[in-house]
């Protein structure tokens, strides 16, 4: 009998938080602020079933529209058969791919628009915002993994074991927005303390 592979989503999430926190320390607070805004927007869009289905529906209308434009005749059934994203796996892969593409693009945008780190305070603030980016990315990817395993209950024995705060039992509590406010309050409080200390040291000098 094959043994069960336990995937610790909490540990994987911590690795992402640490890695992006270190990256944020090297990039600075301004670059990470730009990136965080984009990463949050991508997470909201691709974790919202209604918004995701709306985008997919728009994509699926492209082939029939092209057939009309180029003058090809086809029935409604044929147009439906030509849809790009029909299966749940295809829709999930679309969400994962476009979320990751969005994350990468906004990291580039942050580097271009935010510039580099100026001093230690900028670096520490960047590390905090980078960790926030890691929290958003890790939590979103953990949700995608849970969705994948729910779509394939007959897979070989693999069990995803996220900590309770990342995978509550109630559907309403599994939303990223339930936990994000507390994380963001603590992070921005820390940044506020850094700014206050920096200003006080600057005046003292």
Residue in this structure with the two tokens 């206050």, named with its chain if needed = 196
| Least confident stretch, 4-8, 37-41, 184-188 | 4-8
166: which DSSP letter?
Answer: T
Instruction: Give the integer Cα–Cα distance in Å for 36 and 68.
Output: 41
The answer as to whether 67 is a domain residue is no
Q: What does the chain come to in residues?
A: 205
Most confident of 19-33, 56-70, 166-180, 183-197: 19-33
The answer as to whether 134 is a domain residue is yes
pTM (predicted TM-score)? 0.72
Instruction: Give the integer Cα–Cα distance in Å for 80 and 136.
Output: 35
The answer as to whether 81 is a domain residue is no
CB 97, CB 42: distance < 8 Å: no
Q: Count structural domains, the chain.
A: 1
Mean pLDDT of 86-90: 83
Instruction: Compute CA distances 134 → 86, 147, 172, whole Å.
Output: 31, 20, 22
End-to-end CA distance of the chain: 69
**Angle at the Cα of 100 (from 159 to 50), degrees rounded to 5?**
80
Residue in this structure with the two tokens 């409604």, named with its chain if needed = 76
Output the pLDDT for position 17.
Answer: 87
Instruction: Please check the confidence at residue 103 and state whether its pLDDT lies above 90.
Output: yes
Output the pLDDT for position 45.
Answer: 86
The answer as to whether 146 is a domain residue is yes
Question: Which 3 state secondary structure label does DSSP give 173?
Answer: helix
Instruction: Give the integer Cα–Cα distance in Å for 32 and 21.
Output: 10
The answer as to whether 25 is a domain residue is yes
Task: Print the domain residue range for 191.
Answer: 5-47+88-204
């Amino acid at each position: 009998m094959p043994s069960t592979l336990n995937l610790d989503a909490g540990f994987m999430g911590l690795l992402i938080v640490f890695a992006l926190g270190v990256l944020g320390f090297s990039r600075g607070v301004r670059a990470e602020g730009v990136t965080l805004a984009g990463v949050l927007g991508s997470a909201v869009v691709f974790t919202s079933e209604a918004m995701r289905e709306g985008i997919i529906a728009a994509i699926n209308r492209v082939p029939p529209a092209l057939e009309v434009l180029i003058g090809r005749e086809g029935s409604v059934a044929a147009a439906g058969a030509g849809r790009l994203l029909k299966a749940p796996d295809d829709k999930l892969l679309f969400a994962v791919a476009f979320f990751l593409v969005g994350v990468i693009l906004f990291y580039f945008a942050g580097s271009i628009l935010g510039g580099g780190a100026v001093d230690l305070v900028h670096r520490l603030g960047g590390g905090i915002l980078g960790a926030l980016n890691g929290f958003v990315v890790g939590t979103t990817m953990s949700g995608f993994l849970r969705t994948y395993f729910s779509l394939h209950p007959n897979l070989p024995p693999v069990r995803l074991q996220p900590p309770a705060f990342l995978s509550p039992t109630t559907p309403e509590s599994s939303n990223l927005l339930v936990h994000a406010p507390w994380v963001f309050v603590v992070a921005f409080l820390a940044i506020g303390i850094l700014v206050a200390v920096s200003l006080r040291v600057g005046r003292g000098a």
